[in-house]
Structure 1
Amino acid sequence: MKLRWTSIAWSIMYLLLLLSLKDMSLGIVTVLFLVLPATLLYSTLNLKMFLLHIIPIWLLAFMNDRASILLAVYFIIPSLVMGHCYKRKASALRTLVTGTLAILAEMLLILLIGTIFFQFDLSFYVEEIIRMTLAPLQDAGTNNRLMSDMVMVWTNDDMINLSNMTMRMIPFAMIICAFMMAVVTHSLARPILNTLGFSVPKLKPAREWMLPRSLIWYYFIGVIIEFFARGSHNYFLILIASNLVPLLHIFFMVQAIGFFFYLAHTRKWHPILPILMVVVILLIPPMRIVGILDLAFPLRQMMTKSKR
């Protein structure tokens, strides 16, 4: 009985999330949670019951806004992928990676379809968004003498350079966006499923986080590519340098966070200290050097021996 009422509640929540997409400002926030309801429904129901819940929701959403059904179909795929992982009791890391890859693959597929069949020009779209964003600042600096000294004058070349830089960072942004959606879904789905009696593996404690040491070699290669890309006109080389190194920086920040949690655990620090270190790492990105050293050298073993 509890499961049935819970399924109905999440079906209503799913419908409300789909309807919220009609409001652009609200949809930017709610889209992060759109994978969650369908994931919970698929994880807790058999296929027949799942379809009995999903189909009426899609029909109601279609009657209210026809465009919402496209987003519903778009986000149902990562929901099925992550729900399948929960049914198979896959590890939390595998669920996150699989969900991220599913969302990322869909992003790339939509971009490919839009480019080939609808002549969608992403570079032109990005440039127009940048011009629209900077237009109020330009007008303020032009029409107000007091503001003219405070507002940077953006020339047409400056806007084109910013547009090109943004285009180069789009793969990085897509990966981070896909990963964040998978993290939000898993962070909420796991405790909810556990309360419903479905055992879902959780991530290892932060103190046990240890990324592959091969990332050091990838970083070394990335730095070399970045060095040669600075004076190069090879777009592919620049694209790799613009995305590989920043992505590895995030990995090293995660490794640094794991190191400080390990250190706090072994040295019996107050629990608030590693949390404060997380804030420091996020605010001071060069702190990622700790993560690099933790992968390159046995810092954790050294800390353990020094304690003895």
Structure 2
Amino acid sequence: MGKTKALTEGAIMLALYMILFLMTLYIPLLGSLTLFALSLPFVVFSSRRGWKSGLVLFGAAVIFTMLFGSILALPSTFLFGLGGIVIGYLYKINRSKFEILAAGSIVYILILLVIYAIITTFLKINPVEEAQRAIEQSINMSREMMESLGQTINEAQLEQLQQALEFASLLMPTVIVFVGVFLTFITQLLSSKILSRLGLQVEKWPPFRSIQLPRSLIWYYLIAMVAMMFPLEQDSMMFLAIFNLFHILQLLMILQGLSFIFYYCYHKNLSKGIPITILILSFLLPFLLYLVRLIGIIDLGFNLRSRVESKK
């Protein structure tokens, strides 16, 4: 009876995954939303039946992906299938939210790296170079159009855009890390509500204001900042590692700064709209983002929260 129920549940989860997969593949606008739900069938099934049953579902999903999609669509099944199994199993054994976030992020990042390596090595396609080439073609077309209309071209802006493209290519490892963490967070956000309704006890996220990063990160940040001052070959692995580590740590300082702003507003009984407005404006106004990062650095280095508490 138990096996029959598990098979029935697995068949339902497989059907649900294929529906979400086909919607993602063939319905562009809606697919951009269903993309983030692809891991949910694996999370739910693994949280109820364990990782071994999750792997059986994953194997079936791979076969059906090749039948109804294509071999080129397999990376998405590998990414969301394996990531979903790990997250679901961690829910099953009652791991904390942050443990699930860390483990899920590592799995997503590793799979993304493998997919990227396969694409660049075997298919001889470099996504970054392809994107750069497409943007450069667009720039050249815009330049030709403006010249034909007799309009002047701002060479300084074009040069800045070219530098931005080179900068983006160097940040590919950071992008992969960010995507891995983001996918895990979204998966947790969506799946926790579903699992709660199914009767599974799911730990709630602590308030954003309570997030405090390890104080040791400030030293890593300072070391990375000093290392960035040394002249290194831009194509060297050392430069790439330091460059990406520095920018990842910068993002963490921003996170710490935003968390402190929410914390400060909460303890001063200020309107909730104030920190939310600062959060939105920070990503629209670069100078404000710099100030938020500075607040994060000071909070980590001098423990500003204890001073807010003492003055309360």
Structure 1 length-normalised TM: 0.82
Aligned-partner residue type, residue 15 of structure 1:
M
Give, in angstroms, the shift of residue 28 of structure 1: 5.2
Aligned pairs for 1:197-212 within 5 A: 197-212=199-214
> Is the 1:91–1:202 contact (alpha carbons within 8 Å) kept by the matching residues of 2?
no
Give, in angstroms, the shift of residue 243 of structure 1: 1.1
2:152 maps to 149
Separation in 2, partners of 1:93, 1:130 = 36
Residue 303 (1) aligns with residue 308 (2): yes
Give, in angstroms, the shift of residue 148 of structure 1: 4.3
Aligned-partner residue type, residue 21 of structure 2:
L
Separation in 1, partners of 2:38, 2:223 = 37
1:93 to 78, 87, 98: 98
Give, in angstroms, the shift of residue 76 of structure 1: 1.3
1:34 maps to 38
Cα–Cα, structure 1 residues 147 and 63, in superposed 2: closer, same or farther, change >3 Å? farther
- Matched positions, count: 300
Residue 259 (1) aligns with residue 260 (2): yes
> Is the 2:209–2:259 contact (alpha carbons within 8 Å) kept by the matching residues of 1?
yes
1:273 maps to 274
Residue 173 (1) aligns with residue 178 (2): no
Separation in 1, partners of 2:235, 2:145 = 40
Separation in 2, partners of 1:159, 1:266 = 43
Separation in 2, partners of 1:280, 1:236 = 35
Q: Which runs of 5+ in 2 are unaligned?
A: none
2:116 maps to 111
Give, in angstroms, the shift of residue 85 of structure 1: 0.9
1:289 maps to 294
> Is the 2:51–2:85 contact (alpha carbons within 8 Å) kept by the matching residues of 1?
no
Q: Secondary structure at the match of 2:230?
A: helix
Cα–Cα, structure 1 residues 246 and 210, in superposed 2: closer, same or farther, change >3 Å? same
> Is the 1:131–1:159 contact (alpha carbons within 8 Å) kept by the matching residues of 2?
no
Separation in 2, partners of 1:49, 1:101 = 22
Cα–Cα, structure 1 residues 222 and 187, in superposed 2: closer, same or farther, change >3 Å? same
Separation in 2, partners of 1:58, 1:108 = 19
Q: Secondary structure at the match of 1:228?
A: coil
Cα–Cα, structure 1 residues 57 and 110, in superposed 2: closer, same or farther, change >3 Å? closer
1:19 to 12, 19, 22: 22
Please report the RMSD computed on the Cα atoms of aligned residues, expressed in angstroms: 3.3
2:248 maps to 247
Cα–Cα, structure 1 residues 213 and 43, in superposed 2: closer, same or farther, change >3 Å? same
> Is the 1:142–1:148 contact (alpha carbons within 8 Å) kept by the matching residues of 2?
no
Aligned-partner residue type, residue 71 of structure 1:
S
Q: Secondary structure at the match of 1:22?
A: helix
2:195 maps to 193
Separation in 1, partners of 2:160, 2:281 = 33
Give, in angstroms, the shift of residue 9 of structure 1: 6.5
Separation in 2, partners of 1:291, 1:153 = 33
Separation in 2, partners of 1:147, 1:8 = 63
Separation in 2, partners of 1:126, 1:150 = 26
2:230 maps to 228
Moved more, 171-180 or 141-150: 141-150
Give, in angstroms, the shift of residue 137 of structure 1: 3.3
Give, in angstroms, the shift of residue 47 of structure 1: 6.2
Q: Secondary structure at the match of 1:198?
A: coil
> Is the 2:61–2:77 contact (alpha carbons within 8 Å) kept by the matching residues of 1?
no
- The alignment-based identity, stated in percent, is 24
1:137 maps to 139
> Is the 1:43–1:87 contact (alpha carbons within 8 Å) kept by the matching residues of 2?
yes
Separation in 1, partners of 2:140, 2:22 = 36
Q: Which runs of 5+ in 1 are unaligned?
A: none
Structure 2 length-normalised TM: 0.82
Give, in angstroms, the shift of residue 210 of structure 1: 0.8
Moved more, 297-306 or 12-21: 12-21
